[in-house]
Amino acid sequence: MTFMTNSFTPRVNKITKNPWISSIQDSVMTILPLILVGSLITIISLLNNVVLWFPDFSLIHTFTFGLLGIFVAFLIPYFIMEKKKQDNKKLVAGATGLSLYLFLLSP
């Protein structure tokens, strides 16, 4: 246990204070409700294989996890600028990240 408190914990704290890692952590925490909804819909849609009359929720599943990438592409640059105290550039960075994501997504 002393290894954890003396050696491991300071290293992990140093990593989590990095603005890049911290912004990824904040982004995931922000979209956690969307992840939860998508996961619950996935579990419910598995019942469609057992109960044949059960409605198909695959469209909701695809929609929520599709939005997940869009939100993450906006939120990570947004939170990076927030951590670096560049409040006037937060929206520009988020929009740039989102546009780059959509640009790379198109065939």
Q: Reduced to 3 states, what is the DSSP secondary structure of residue 85? A: coil
Residue-wise pLDDT for 39-96, tens only, equals: 898 888 888 888 888 888 888 888 888 899 999 999 999 999 999 999 899 999 999 9
pTM: 0.80
CA distance 10 to 70: 34
pLDDT of residue 50: 83
Sequence ranges of the domains in the chain: 19-105
- How is residue 68 written in tokens? 């997940």
pLDDT of 25-50, one tens digit each?
999 999 999 899 888 988 888 888 88
Distance CA(6)–CA(30), nearest Å, equals: 31
Asked if 102 and 41 count as a contact pair (C-beta separation under 8 A), the reply is no
